[in-house]
């Protein structure tokens, strides 16, 4: 009986971290954020299509990450907004541009942007915005789907990971230049 309990204890010690780690997926994070912050959402595919359409000027995209994250890469056309900006400051800075616009907020995975969307929802509506939505999965989902990200120097192949834990949710992307270099080196 003691041997059985010992094996059971060892199995639990080895399996629990594996089970917990397997639950840490971007899809699960997206579900939790949607549950905790019930705001309007737009998917990366929907946003990508809207930004490619003739109606793209009716969309305003706001990056709700820290400046160092924004500097690494961002969704095309996104404007930086400090994650802790007050409703008053946001409206003072952007309020005149909101009438008739669809506002999309994103961060790394969607939590900071969902919180900001919640805070701004009523004020942006009063300013005449058509909608205020959180980008589901945010820039991590955008990047993992294969859509382009940019820095001040042009298109790039990486996203700020936020930290080592959250960075595990990002998929690696290989640029055409590095793939070409890797191919030449292997020959």
C-alpha span between 162 and 171 (Å, rounded): 14
pLDDT one-digit tens code per residue, 55-66: 899 999 999 999
Q: Which of 11-15, 92-96, 113-117 has the lowest mean pLDDT?
A: 11-15
What the block records as the tokens of 155 is 């298109």
Its pTM stands at 0.82
**What would be the CATH architecture of the domain defined by 26-165?**
3-Layer(aba) Sandwich (3.40)
What the block records as the tokens of 101 is 């616009």
Every domain of the chain and the residues it spans: 26-165
Is residue 26 packed enough to be buried (19+ CB in 10 Å), middle (13-18) or exposed (0-12)? buried
pLDDT one-digit tens code per residue, 18-39: 444 458 899 999 999 999 999 9
Decide the pairing of beta strands 131-135 and 149-151.
unpaired
What the block records as the tokens of 73 is 């890469």
Decide the pairing of beta strands 154-156 and 149-151.
antiparallel
Count the neighbouring beta carbons within 10 Å of the beta carbon of residue 124. Answer: 25
């Amino acid at each position: 009986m003691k041997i059985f309990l010992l094996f059971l204890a060892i199995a639990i010690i080895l399996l629990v971290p594996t089970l917990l780690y397997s639950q840490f997926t971007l899809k699960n994070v997206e579900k939790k954020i949607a549950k905790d912050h019930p705001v309007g959402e737009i998917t990366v595919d929907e946003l990508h299509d809207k930004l490619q359409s003739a109606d793209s000027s009716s969309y305003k995209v706001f990056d709700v990450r820290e400046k160092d994250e924004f500097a690494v890469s961002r969704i095309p056309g996104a404007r930086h907004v400090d994650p802790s900006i007050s409703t008053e400051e946001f409206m003072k800075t952007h309020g005149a541009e909101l009438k008739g616009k669809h506002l999309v907020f994103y961060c790394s995975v969607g939590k900071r942007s969902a919180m900001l969307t919640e805070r701004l929802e009523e004020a942006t509506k009063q300013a005449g915005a058509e909608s205020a939505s959180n980008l589901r999965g945010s820039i991590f989902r955008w990047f993992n789907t294969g859509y382009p990200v940019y820095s001040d120097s042009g298109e790039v192949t990486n996203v700020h990971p936020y930290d080592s834990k959250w960075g595990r949710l990002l998929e690696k992307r290989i640029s055409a230049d590095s793939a070409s270099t890797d191919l030449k080196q292997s020959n």
